[in-house]
Structure 1
Amino acid sequence: MSSIVKVSIIQLYPVPLEPEHNFNKAANFIRAAAAQGADLAVLPEYHLTGWKPNDASFLAAIEKCKPYLDKYRALAKECKICIVPGTIIESHKESPKEEDKLLNTCYFIDHAGHLTGKYIKKNLWGPERAHLTGSGRDVHQVFDTPIGKAGLLICWDLAFPEAFRELIAQGAKIVIVPTFWTLKDCNEAGLARNPASEALFLDSLLTARAFENTCAVVFANAGGPPGEGYAGLSQVTVPFVGPLTKLGSSAEGMSVVDVDMRILEDAEENYGVRADLARDDWHYDYRHGGKGTH
């Protein structure tokens, strides 16, 4: 396997409640990324529907999303590219008598169209909790993929270093984070102090997570029209360097960047994070579930 992984981050503006339109736009970006030799394309959270949970058409739009996972699998096979299709909201019930639960779900699709990984958002942002069901105490999982060992997180999971530690302890080298994070996710008190508070939050978190876990972080956020509060800032971040590429604060777009995976080995040699996690006497082992591999 080459040490170079070519990654595409796709920053979309999801037209609310229009999954077919949003899929077609995403597919065009993915084909363009594949034409540039990308090994992986990553889309934002809620990219098919946007986030309009109180709209009367929201549940109907979710139902319309059911075929799109298979469409992305076919697209991955056609273009010979791995795809993380942002997130897709899925309805689920454990018994006929139970009400449907809405799950914010992320998949890793390999270049042959196979489902290699699946993750249901664990750490729900405050307004999501009235509508979605999280994955609770389910363990974060790492997946073997054509680009190496990878883990999936979603949006607000970024704020929890424990989520990264659980993945790193299992050997993840790339953590992929589809996101729908806006500048308006800050309260009035914070915005009064810094109108760009959420942009500072994102840039700081992404750089810190890459350094403190000796991993690459692939972050694809939604973009949108200026003045509507979209944060954008989609980026691929690695230790030593920080962002290898970063998109603007709001506009749609795509970037393809080479990630030299050897930088992660160099960072680990310097910081020894994974080595510490694997020690028998590691003093935080009760937090991440035991010994890791690296």
Structure 2
Amino acid sequence: MNLRIAALQMTPTRAQDNETRLARGLNEAAAQGATLLLAPELALSGYNQSAEALRDVASEVPAAIKRLAQKVKETGVALALGVPRIEDDQLFNSAVLITPEDGVVLTYDKCHLFGEEERATFAQGNRRSRLVNWNGLKVGLLICYDVEFPEMVRSLALDGMQLALVPTALPKVGDITTVSDRYIPTRAFENGIFVAYAGLSGVENGMTYLGGSHIAAPDCRTLAKCGEDEALLIADLDTGLVGRSDRSGPYLRDRRPELYR
């Protein structure tokens, strides 16, 4: 069976405009026959913001999610996106998955915070994503830096994850293209899963984003990929590829965890 998904690479502006862009992205994805849209890390607020600005947006997130959930229902396209989230007065870098049938079915807080600024701004998540069934696939969430830790992705694959949805925001510094170009297809290949990775683009408050959105298959193939500009990626997932690859060994089956520490 083939499932068509989309990844939105977008330039963040004001929260209200970001929400409008996400709603338009749902329309665009629906027009191309996609049943799921993945948006970037902190897509609703923008990433390069002060803690105060992020808290301001976070206070409005429940209402924004309610509006986006209505748009998801209207279009029939599930939506995964990054948002700032407040719980017990702590600010989290979070992601949510909204489906047309059930509304918000997953909420995940970023576990691996990147750099001193993130650690000074956000509370650290301490639980891996739950998995939910979506159109016959077990789906989990990670956020940006999380996917760079093989253990994190492997542990979810061992739980049965078949599609990893990864909102991201890569600043354009150094040889950061390695993450998008190499890590994403590698995580897909070594775990026999699909990995969808959607990033911010353009410039926000002096920070230039790489973009680098990428959708990779379990056999290491790139199904869709883009550069630095705004784009909507479309990919058809052949679900029969999950858990097997003609180009790789059966890594999950042949593990010897008694040797690993």
* Same fold flag (TM > 0.5): yes
1:243 maps onto 2:203 in alignment: no
What amino acid is aligned across from residue 219 of structure 1 in structure 2?
A: Y
TM-score, with normalisation over the residues of structure 2? 0.91
Instruction: Quote the residue 1:92 is aligned against.
Output: 87
Separation (CA, whole Å) in 2 of partners of 1:147 and 1:75: 23
Instruction: Quote the residue 1:229 is aligned against.
Output: 208
Instruction: Quote the residue 1:7 is aligned against.
Output: 5
Instruction: Quote the residue 2:183 is aligned against.
Output: 205
Separation (CA, whole Å) in 1 of partners of 2:179 and 2:248: 26
The gaps in structure 2 that reach 5 residues or longer are none
1:58 to partner: Cα distance: 3.9
Structure 1 residues 56 and 144 mapped into 2: Cα distance closer, same or farther (>3 Å)? closer
Cα-Cα RMSD: 2.2
Higher mean alpha-carbon deviation, 231-240 vs 169-178, is at 231-240
What amino acid is aligned across from residue 258 of structure 2 in structure 1?
A: H
Instruction: Quote the residue 2:161 is aligned against.
Output: 172
TM-score, with normalisation over the residues of structure 1? 0.81
What amino acid is aligned across from residue 144 of structure 1 in structure 2?
A: N
Structure 1 residues 32 and 201 mapped into 2: Cα distance closer, same or farther (>3 Å)? closer
Separation (CA, whole Å) in 2 of partners of 1:59 and 1:118: 18
Instruction: Write the mapping of 1:3-42 to structure 2, written as runs, cut at 5 A.
Output: 3-15=1-13, 18-42=14-38
1:228 to partner: Cα distance: 5.6
Contact 2:55 2:91 in 1 (8 A): no
1:65 to partner: Cα distance: 2.8
For 2:145, which of 136, 143, 156 is the aligned residue?
156
Separation (CA, whole Å) in 2 of partners of 1:170 and 1:113: 22
Instruction: Write the mapping of 1:13-92 to structure 2, written as runs, cut at 5 A.
Output: 13-15=11-13, 18-54=14-50, 57-84=53-80, 86-92=81-87
The gaps in structure 1 that reach 5 residues or longer are 94-99, 185-190, 192-196, 288-294
What is the total number of aligned residue pairs between the two structures? 259
Residues 40-91 of structure 1: CA deviation (Å, up to 9, x unaligned):
101001111112443754432332333111112111111111111x211111
Contact 2:189 2:220 in 1 (8 A): no
Percentage of pairs with the same residue: 25
What amino acid is aligned across from residue 87 of structure 2 in structure 1?
A: H
1:170 to partner: Cα distance: 0.8
Structure 1 residues 284 and 121 mapped into 2: Cα distance closer, same or farther (>3 Å)? farther
Structure 1 residues 233 and 147 mapped into 2: Cα distance closer, same or farther (>3 Å)? farther
Separation (CA, whole Å) in 2 of partners of 1:72 and 1:50: 17
Separation (CA, whole Å) in 1 of partners of 2:96 and 2:212: 22
Instruction: Quote the residue 1:134 is aligned against.
Output: 124
Question: The residue matched to 2:161 in structure 1 has which SS?
Answer: coil
Structure 1 residues 66 and 115 mapped into 2: Cα distance closer, same or farther (>3 Å)? closer
